[in-house]
Amino acid sequence: MAVVVKYVVERNGVERMTFTTKKEADAYDKMLDIAESLELMLEKVDVPLSEQQIESLALEIAKSKDDFMAVLKGAKDPVPAKASEKSKKTDNVASIENSDEKQVS
């Protein structure tokens, strides 16, 4: 029998997400804190938004906070979130084409 440690992020008695590392759970919890603060700010803006729109917008801004911060600091061309995620996922992956070429030689 294996022992598995899980870190659960819970908000208002509702289980939001489960992680295998404390670092990931803390990062997600912090992102949710930022989203809550953004919701309070968005409720005060003079733009008609539904409660669901405010919640969704706040969560998306919190998820991409680094990109938003760069834009707010004056960056001209922010890195698209999808492109940065893709590069992070493939940084430690060797190209299949390169490994095949080496075997053929």
10-residue mean pLDDT series, the chain (105 residues): 89 89 93 92 88 92 90 75 49 44 44
pLDDT given for residue 74 in this prediction: 85
Q: Would 66 be classed as within a structural domain?
A: yes
Q: Domain of residue 56: give its range.
A: 22-72
pLDDT given for residue 101 in this prediction: 43
DSSP string of 11-31?
ETTEEEEEESSHHHHHHHHHH
- Tell the residue number behind the tokens 């309070």, with chain if given: 40
Measured in degrees and rounded to the nearest 5, phi and psi for residue 87 equal: -65, -35
Q: How many domains does the chain have?
A: 1
pLDDT given for residue 93 in this prediction: 47
Question: How large is the C-alpha radius of gyration of the chain?
Answer: 20
Q: Would 5 be classed as within a structural domain?
A: no
Q: Would 98 be classed as within a structural domain?
A: no
Q: Would 42 be classed as within a structural domain?
A: yes
pLDDT given for residue 80 in this prediction: 60
- The secondary structure of residue 74, as a DSSP letter, is T
- The secondary structure of residue 92, as a DSSP letter, is T
Q: Would 3 be classed as within a structural domain?
A: no
Q: Would 7 be classed as within a structural domain?
A: no
Q: Would 34 be classed as within a structural domain?
A: yes
| Beta partners for residue 10, in sequence order | 15
For residue 22, the one-letter residue type is: K
Q: Would 9 be classed as within a structural domain?
A: no
**CA 38 to centroid of chain Cα atoms:** 15
